[in-house]
Structure 1
Amino acid sequence: MGEESSLVLHGMWASPFGKRVEFALKIKGIPFEYVEEDLQNKNPSTLLKYNPVYKKAPVLVHNGNPISESLVILEYIEETWKNHGPALLPQDPYERAQLRFWADFINKQLFEASVKVVMAAGEALEKAIKDLREKLKVVEEHGVKRLLGDGSGPFANGQEVGFVDIVMWSVLGAYKIHEEILGVKIIDEEETPGVASWLNSLIHHPLTKDILPSKDKVVGLLQYVRHRPLNSSAAA
């Protein structure tokens, strides 16, 4: 039996963190079994067993050994299947460090700002959009030039999707649906053209169609998560 014969991803359909692991496995061409977890009713024999510290998905179980936290999982995938499919990270230590830095910025700064946009309304939404765009400007001015400036391809990894591309897609890959639901423009193509081009290349990658949930499911989720805080705010 090969390395891939005992590989199980425990995820949740709406989790961007789980989706980035799915994307990485598909990019590398690694077969895996997928198990959908119910985060409202956590399974003691799977999720709670494999991730007793954070008790959340995703968890990748390889030959019975669980690995938690999406960025850690991406690194594990690259190290374990280094010669399988395209590399997610370059060989040069400095280049790897640069990509890790921007993946961390996107994972923390952009993700936090994008969540605030989804949850806000009225003046709070305007403020959240402004904050997100300021962070996108940082990526445009300092990240895009560093990540895509050599012109070797549409992605930070050149012609193939890599580590930081996967993180960027998982955070803002559904931005057009969010714009439609919120009735606001999130990505300004004139203000951040490099970011817009990068995201559109990722969105149109052939593998993402099999990973992202349907538009109806995304819309339903957005309406649900916005309904709860907006109602709570009104009641207060």
Structure 2
Amino acid sequence: MADEEVVVLGFWPSTYGTRATIALDEKGVKYEYREEDLSNKSSLLLQMNPVLIHNGKPVCESLIIVQYVDEIWRDKAPLLPSDPYQRARVRFWADFIDKKVFDAGKKLWSTKGEEHEAAKKEFIEILTQLEGEIGDKPYFGGERFGFLDIALITFYSWFYAFETFGNFRLEAECPNPKLIAWAKRCMQKDSVCKTLPDHKKVYESVIGMKKMFGME
């Protein structure tokens, strides 16, 4: 509606904030994006707690935001399946992604020695499990890009950093051709390619974080 106000508060490297903008773009919703400095939070960010503000009301947590967007703008193509069992399955895997992918990836650039080797093994196993879930489908939900694709694709711009600090390449060390093909397919979508940051810029950001926290 013309009188709606939609604001997204984000931080460019965030794997979570970008979910909101992808969902909104998929629905064709106009919104204002405001880049936030997490080391110097604005009063609005402190008050609203990112990421989405709809007509002055805050909606928090990225997966909840994507579900909210899907429910509010019902006249557009759905992001979640209509079947209750399939919806439950999608939510299970989205929760799996949130609990597993970032933490395992972080260990690749923040640990050393045996812990680092264990993190590498864990990360590859996680992606292998996700590859098993997508199977031969173009997208996790089938023929159409949806909720679970949004949940995972925002990590793709971090894969270069994960691989570089982990000293491995996914194509060489785990059977992920389907997952990589899926990621490239997602990157062909305007909602994704215009939102995700450049992978080398993310890598440089991680180097900065390592320096900040004395992890060099």
- Measured against the shorter chain, the TM-score band is 0.7 to 0.9
Runs of at least 5 residues in structure 2 that lack an aligned partner in the other structure: none
Matched, 1:29 2:20: no
Cα distance in 1 for partners of 2:190, 2:139 equals 14
Secondary structure (helix, strand or coil) at the match of 1:194 reads: helix
User: Aligned Cα RMSD in Å?
Assistant: 2.3
Count of matched residue positions in the alignment of Structure 1 and Structure 2: 216
Distance 1:201 1:87, change over 3 A: same
Runs of at least 5 residues in structure 1 that lack an aligned partner in the other structure: 52-57
52, 57, 66: which is aligned to 2:58? 66
Question: Contact 1:119 / 1:225 at 8 angstroms: preserved in 2?
Answer: no
Partner of 2:2: 2
Distance 1:178 1:120, change over 3 A: same
1:96 shift after superposition: 0.8
Query: TM-score with structure 1 length normalisation?
Result: 0.81
Partner of 2:211: 227
Output one character per residue of 1:110-162: Cα deviation in whole Å (capped at 9) or x when no partner.
Answer: 22111212323454433211111122222233x223xxx4x4xx112333321
Q: Output the amino acid matched with 2:37.
A: D
Output one character per residue of 1:15-53: Cα deviation in whole Å (capped at 9) or x when no partner.
Answer: 111111111111111110011112111222x011112xx
Partner of 1:136: 127
Cα distance in 2 for partners of 1:19, 1:187 equals 26
Q: Output the amino acid matched with 2:117.
A: E
Question: Contact 2:105 / 2:162 at 8 angstroms: preserved in 1?
Answer: no
Q: Give the share of equivalent positions with the same residue, in percent.
A: 36
Distance 1:15 1:41, change over 3 A: same
1:188 shift after superposition: 4.7
Q: Output the amino acid matched with 1:185.
A: R
Question: Contact 1:173 / 1:203 at 8 angstroms: preserved in 2?
Answer: no
Distance 1:139 1:201, change over 3 A: same
Secondary structure (helix, strand or coil) at the match of 2:59 reads: strand
Partner of 1:50: 48
Question: Contact 2:7 / 2:53 at 8 angstroms: preserved in 1?
Answer: yes
Cα distance in 2 for partners of 1:134, 1:39 equals 32
Secondary structure (helix, strand or coil) at the match of 1:94 reads: helix
1:82 shift after superposition: 1.2
Cα distance in 1 for partners of 2:94, 2:52 equals 20
Question: Contact 1:175 / 1:186 at 8 angstroms: preserved in 2?
Answer: no
Q: Output the amino acid matched with 1:107.
A: D
